Amino acid sequence: MDLQFFCRVFLITALISLVCQVCSVTAGDIVHDDDLAPKKPGCENDFVLVKVQTWVDGIEDAEFVGVGARFGTTIVSKEKNANQRRLILSDPRDCCSAPKNKLANDVIMVDRGHCKFTTKANYAQAAHASAILIINNQKELYKMVCEPDETDLDIHIPAVMLPQDAGTSLEKMLISNSSVSVQLYSPTRPLVDIAEVFLWLMAVGTILCASYWSAWSAREAAIEQDKLLKDALDEIPDTRPVGSGGIVDINTTSAILFVVVASCFLVMLYKLMSYWFVELLVVLFCIGGVEGLQTCSVALLSRWFKRAGKSYIKVPFFGTLSYLTLAVSPFCIAFAVVWAVYRNVSFAWIGQDILGIALIITVLQIVHVPNLKVGTVLLSCAFLYDIFWVFVSKKLFHESVMIVVARGDRSGEDGIPMLLKIPRMFDPWGGYSIIGFGDILLPGLLITFSLRYDWLANKTLRAGYFLWAMIAYGLGLLITYVALNLMDGHGQPALLYIVPFTLGTFLTLGKKRGDLRVLWTRGEPERPCPHIRLEHQHHEELDDDNH
């Protein structure tokens, strides 16, 4: 194994461990309910995000986002039904006593602390405020609930918590301008956003492309091996697995170990999540993205530039490279660098998805599941891994480790780059629909294996396993999005739904067709050895001559 291939395999292996950290699909940060804050009469609102649109001297200005309280009246959902009201800074600031301000259906802004939330709301209501904005003493939002022994809950004005930085901005507006008014409303999120449809198509399309490329390469390698054997009757047949050149086969031990290592990486990401750590992940993602984009580009362009693709030059450290690879590499590097520099702009998700898809296709081309046994072990472990880090981790860490890492809550960034994402196009809250690389890669390893088997066994599309595995994956991912929307946007472990559909379909069909033993052990159909077949024909011809 040359240095170039060793480095390539090492990089791909490291990136697989990273990209499989985020195996949840999330639709945003809106929280509708919370079992830790039980409801009671007068304090039974769902927690909803609230838009606070401002106007300064009649001109529309900044918009802030807060969270509605358990108590008070519900906030209107449509902007056209929300009234503009003048904003007043409370005196005293904490509103723990009757305000000295003269209010006439104005919105009063108060500071958090020194008394209960409901006490502030009652004083504001008694002073004829139309709503109360409570400014948190931290940058995060806080859910305002009622104390277990509270009884004074006859509150008929909306109460909204805003983060500290929003309060600072609003205070500056009030000090430097003559008139500031606000409008409060909480738009409902659409049941289905078209972004989820495109994300589904991207995931299915990525596996489709990777599967056909992998199967085509395996068939070409098989044909080449047969030619070599036919041309060398006197040589011992090459007993290496078909298509083994440049391929990494996963075994049962590495499948189990992979999930253990991935869990360690996930905990490390959770504990060390910070701005600099995300920057490090961006660098690693760019390196993997360049490798993936270069591999895919060279494979595609070599059909038109065959001479450049087959002419090689030796480069220090990188080994032997084709002229086509040398020509394509600068463009791939430039693409990744431009994305890294401008990754925070609104359209940067396009570059991230291109790099991500290229990386996934390349991994599925290089890393193979040799048989159904290894695929079953890998997906079963990943199934348990996904459930544990999305749901069970809440009991140990008081929050879902997987979802926190996916969103990059502690990094000051928009999340780690090892995921595909599309902006929610018709969602008033904006945000992205995302899917982790692991939700495409891990099932993709089994699906690409199915098409390789079908092609080597000369099975038709209907009689093979690939079509049904592909349909099962698509249905599993579709069920994930249905569950996501039924759960009001709470992140879902996609492999919880994808693995039973995909693996269950494969195992059931294999047993029904009588191929399960071959699929489970060999992983490829029995093929007559050309060397033995030609040698047998040669002996028959000699016997005929003797007679």
Residues labelled as active-site residues: 386, 439
Angle among Cα 190, 51, 127 to the nearest 5 degrees reads: 135
Q: How many CB atoms lie within 10 A of CB 304?
A: 9
Contact 394, 400 (CB under 8 A): yes
Contact 414, 26 (CB under 8 A): no
Where are the extended beta strands (E) located within 406-522? 419-423, 432-436, 492-493
d(CA 225, CA 373): 26
d(CA 432, CA 465): 34
Beta pairing class for 107-111 and 131-135: parallel
Helix or strand (DSSP H, E) at 457:
none
Q: Convert 469-494 into a string of H (helix), E (strand) and C (coil).
A: HHHHHHHHHHHHHHHHHHCCCCCEEC
What is the DSSP code string of 200-239? HHHHHHHHHHHHHHHHHHHHHHHHHHHHHHHT-TTSPPP-
d(CA 431, CA 49): 13
Sign of the dihedral defined by the CA atoms of residues 132, 136, 142, 148, in that order? negative
Q: Would you give the DSSP letter of residue 433?
A: E
Residue 274, classed as helix, strand or coil, is: coil
**Tokens 């029904």 sit on residue:** 512
**Tokens 């004083």 sit on residue:** 123
Q: How many CB atoms lie within 10 A of CB 461?
A: 11
